């Protein structure tokens, strides 16, 4: 693994539930110092209660200033203007971000700096920190998110990808679409926190109390409940099978009224990451009920590997990256197929197929992925040094 670096990471909120960004950076922080920048300038806020609450949370974090959240992790919530598409705002945000991040860098030992960004629209930071390496880690087709300025995101991402020393993508669809922007693009699928989720198969792990009285089978989902989740599909399954239990865990960023009306659909809200194995132990099937769209065609759901590591059979809508895990995953194109797949999958728990899937997840851990990324970075640095002109002797 790379070591002895100060790594600036431009990403979403550190204080959200763990994502690929968190897992990668926590692993890197074992041998480097990570400055995690809570980036919030990609989307113009809406006049909504949810965005108002988010803005107040950001303001509190800004006022608190840089925070040490671990021995080698400092979190910065910068003061920036969320107005994508404006060249004047981009210039202002560059100055603000560089000043605030540089202030944290000055408090750390002088070491080579690397700039990693999971955000597509911070191309204006390229070269601002004298970084030895710029890594663009692309985990989504960002221009397809609701509320984003598509043209502005695409233009900024193209500039960023072209200047990056290394572009990492998490799906074949992203690989195909980003390959033309940079020849140094590599597919790096997600890892899994195997030891954490495998607790679901241990006898000493208790089942979540909320599931104890629910009729079986219990179909479970965890993750953000956003507009890419097919709530109509979930409601159709709930209505067609009123004796089944459907449990949804996660913060709701969309209207759940169609589900709340169903007595066998249980929206439990956000639960801590530590609790998920206890819920997985009580589930019979893990669900990935995403709408099929340009956004989800490029997604690689982390929950897929988490479900499998927990020993759960999985039923999903036809997402390309999920299909690659057949025959451990059942694919359904509509409500009727989804119901049939759940009926079949509920009988797989504890089967040889699921045991094989869980065993395969042992080879897809986050430390394994970070080692692979580190090798790519080291190759990139060696190649750059090999072609760097020799300095004349004076």
Question: What is the reported pLDDT for 393?
Answer: 36
Question: What is the reported pLDDT for 390?
Answer: 42
Number of domains in the chain: 2
Q: How far from 356 is each of 17, 195, 309, 382, CA to CA, in Å?
A: 28, 16, 10, 39
Whether residues 123 and 37 share a domain: the answer is yes
Which two tokens mark 357?
A: 């899937």
CB of 271 within 8 A of CB of 211?
no
Whether residues 258 and 330 share a domain: the answer is yes
Q: Flag whether 307 is in a domain.
A: yes
CB of 299 within 8 A of CB of 290?
yes
| Farthest CA pair distance, the chain | 83
Domain CATH number, residue 236: 3.40.50.2000
Q: Flag whether 392 is in a domain.
A: no
Q: Flag whether 28 is in a domain.
A: yes
Question: What is the reported pLDDT for 360?
Answer: 94
For 233, the domain range is: 194-360
Whether residues 81 and 160 share a domain: the answer is yes
Question: What is the reported pLDDT for 392?
Answer: 42
Whether residues 274 and 152 share a domain: the answer is no
Question: What is the reported pLDDT for 391?
Answer: 43
Whether residues 335 and 248 share a domain: the answer is yes
Whether residues 68 and 95 share a domain: the answer is yes
Q: Flag whether 242 is in a domain.
A: yes
pTM: 0.91
Q: Flag whether 104 is in a domain.
A: yes
Q: Flag whether 257 is in a domain.
A: yes
Sheet containing strand 329-331, edge to edge, reads: 265-269, 245-249, 218-222, 285-288, 314-316, 329-331
Whether residues 228 and 353 share a domain: the answer is yes
Question: What is the reported pLDDT for 147?
Answer: 82
Whether residues 356 and 381 share a domain: the answer is no
Kindly provide the residue ranges of all beta strands, DSSP E only, lying in the chain, ordered along the sequence. Answer: 6-11, 33-38, 67-70, 73-76, 113-117, 133-138, 166-169, 185-187, 218-222, 245-249, 265-269, 285-288, 314-316, 329-331
Question: How crowded is the C-beta side of 301, counted as CA atoms within 13 Å?
Answer: 32
Place of tokens 């042992």: 362
Whether residues 236 and 346 share a domain: the answer is yes
Cis peptide bond upstream of 337, omega within 30: no
Whether residues 57 and 117 share a domain: the answer is yes
Whether residues 311 and 375 share a domain: the answer is no
Whether residues 125 and 240 share a domain: the answer is no
394 residues of the chain, pLDDT tens digit each: 999 999 999 999 998 889 999 999 999 999 999 999 998 655 555 545 555 555 555 556 666 778 999 889 999 998 877 766 677 887 888 898 999 999 999 999 999 999 999 999 999 999 999 999 999 999 999 999 988 889 989 999 999 999 999 999 999 999 999 999 899 999 999 999 999 999 999 999 999 999 999 999 999 999 999 999 999 999 999 999 999 999 999 999 899 999 989 999 999 999 999 999 999 999 999 999 999 999 999 999 999 999 999 999 999 999 999 999 988 899 999 999 999 999 999 988 778 888 999 999 999 999 999 999 999 999 999 987 775 554 443 3
Q: Flag whether 393 is in a domain.
A: no
Helix or strand run (H / E) with residue 309: helix 302-309
Q: Flag whether 176 is in a domain.
A: yes
Question: What is the reported pLDDT for 112?
Answer: 97
């Amino acid at each position: 693994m790379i070591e002895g670096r100060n790594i600036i990471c431009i990403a979403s909120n550190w204080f959200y539930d763990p994502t690929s960004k968190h897992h990668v950076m926590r692993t890197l922080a074992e041998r480097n110092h990570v400055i995690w920048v809570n980036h919030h300038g990609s989307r113009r806020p809406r006049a909504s209660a949810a965005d108002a609450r988010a803005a107040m949370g950001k303001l509190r974090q800004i006022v608190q200033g840089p925070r040490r959240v671990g021995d080698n992790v400092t979190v910065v919530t910068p003061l920036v203007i969320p107005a994508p598409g404006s060249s004047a705002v981009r210039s202002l945000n560059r100055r603000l971000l560089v000043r605030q991040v540089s202030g944290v860098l000055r408090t750390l030992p002088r070491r080579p700096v690397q700039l990693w960004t999971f955000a597509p629209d911070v191309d204006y930071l390229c070269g601002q920190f004298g970084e030895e390496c710029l890594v663009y880690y692309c985990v989504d087709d960002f221009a397809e998110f609701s509320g984003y300025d598509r043209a502005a995101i695409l233009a900024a991402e193209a500039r960023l990808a072209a200047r990056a020393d290394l572009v990492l993508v998490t799906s074949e669809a992203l690989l195909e679409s980003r390959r033309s922007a940079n020849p140094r693009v590599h597919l790096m699928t997600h890892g899994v926190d195997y030891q954490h989720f495998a607790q679901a198969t241990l006898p000493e792990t208790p089942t979540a109390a909320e599931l104890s009285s629910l009729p079986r089978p219990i179909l479970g989902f965890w993750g953000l409940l956003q507009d890419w989740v097919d709530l109509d599909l979930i409601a159709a399954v709930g209505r067609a099978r009123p004796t089944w239990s459907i449990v949804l865990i996660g913060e709701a960023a969309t209207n759940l009224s169609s589900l709340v009306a169903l007595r066998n659909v249980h929206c439990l809200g956000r639960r801590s990451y530590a609790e998920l194995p206890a819920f997985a132990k009580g589930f019979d099937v893990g669900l990935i009920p995403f709408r099929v769209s340009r956004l989800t065609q490029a997604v690689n759901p982390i929950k897929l590997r988490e479900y499998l590591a927990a020993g759960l059979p999985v039923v999903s809508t036809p997402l390309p990256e999920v299909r690659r895990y057949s025959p451990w995953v059942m694919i359904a194109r509509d409500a009727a197929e989804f119901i049939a797949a759940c009926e079949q999958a509920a009988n797989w728990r504890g089967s040889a197929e699921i045991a094989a899937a869980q065993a395969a997840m042992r080879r897809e851990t986050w430390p394994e992925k970070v080692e692979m990324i580190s090798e790519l970075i080291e190759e990139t640095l060696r190649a750059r040094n090999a072609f760097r002109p020799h300095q004349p002797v004076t």
